[in-house]
Homo-oligomer: A and B are copies of this chain.
Amino acid sequence: MSKRVSTIGEFALIELITARLPAQDDVLVGPGDDAAVVAAPDGRFVVTTDLLVERRHFRRDWSSAYDIGQKAAAQNLSDVAAMGARPTTLLLGLALPPETAVDWVLELVDGLRDECDRAKASIVGGDISRADAVVLAITAHGSLDGRPPVLRRGARPGDVVVLGGRVGWAAAGLALLTGDRREPAELVTAHRRPRPPYPLGAELAAAGATAMCDVSDGLLQDLGHIADASRVGIELDSTAFEVPGIMRQAADLLGVDPLGWMLTGGDDNALVACLPAPAAVPAGCVVIGTVVREPGVRVDGAVWSGPGGHDHFRR
């Protein structure tokens, strides 16, 4: 039986955690002082932060500590990539009930660390506190390496809309779990462990992306953010979305339209960008639509009438 965090105390827990963390070249001063020091080679840094709250963003009975850590890192590192930046570092604020098992915490840290490794980023610091529910507060940084940041507001009529990475997989996995199903396992795993296409962020920026964001709230809603910020509209072509066989199988099981998952499902952390046409579309991306003058986001010329996005207080 694993020890509990209340048994070993805050400082011993921090030592166990930091002992598991390798540091890459960007880390000039790592954990253990009042603050960390990180390289910002081009004189700027990209920074984003997210809160993940138990029972709101994850359930300990649905996801392992490792999966929760990996997902938490992924969604922040993905926001960094969506600026066209290379992820560099991450900080972890961790609120824990005192009865939490030390092993659970260390597995969580392993998940964070391994996802940071995938993105070539390092964990450079954090904070631990006691609370009634587990809360993760992640802050991630990145370097633009001399490129301008790619914002949401630069899309222009005539641009093509390109998608990099998977959409709808996490939503399908969540629908299966909600229906007490654990198969197809690949979709359930996709809900538990997103696989953001980190290097595509910098590649799309280098390809001249005029606007970009990651798909965290759902493709339509996130494209809506680009359209609103850029004062343009977006026309999507539903035939550009090839529904994977495994997703069609899950949709048949649950009696739903899989296109709904792809258009409105969040949490896969795909990247969606606008590129001037004709631009070289990076490998791993597909063209799914075009930027137009008329405001709004439409699918095959009409407003999507399926289920919508996500609001933390209203749902």
Contacts and interface: CB of A to CB of B under 8 A. Distances in A.
A165 interface: no
Contact of A40 (B11, B40, B133, B314): B40
A34 B214 contact: yes
A312 B10 contact: yes
Contact of A43 (B6, B39, B126, B133): B39
This chain's copy number in the assembly: 2
Interface in A262-315: 311-314
Given A35-B82, A82-B34, A139-B91, A49 B6 contact: no
Contacts of A139: 47, 49, 91, 137, 139
Contacts of A94: 51
A223 to B, nearest CB: 13
A241 interface: no
A185 B88 CA distance: 46
A130 B130 CA distance: 18
A165 to B, nearest CB: 14
A249 interface: no
A47 B124 contact: yes
Nearest to A42: B43
Contacts of A91: 47-49, 139
B93 A49 contact: yes
B313 A35 contact: no
Interface stretch (A60-68, A113-121, A144-152, A155-163): A144-152
A231 B41 CA distance: 33
Interface in A109-137: 124-133, 135, 137
A102 to B, nearest CB: 11
Residue among A28, A34, A52, A91 with the most chain B CB within 10 A?
A: A34
B56 A129 contact: yes
A33 interface: yes
Given A9-B313, A135-B131, A37 B48 contact: no
A91 B48 CA distance: 8
A199 interface: no
Contacts of A53: 95, 129-131, 135
A32 B229 CA distance: 9
B35 A83 contact: yes
A123 B44 CA distance: 16
Given A9-B313, A313-B6, A44 B49 contact: no
A104 interface: no
A93 B34 contact: no
Contact of A311 (B9, B44, B131, B311): B9
A231 to B, nearest CB: 14
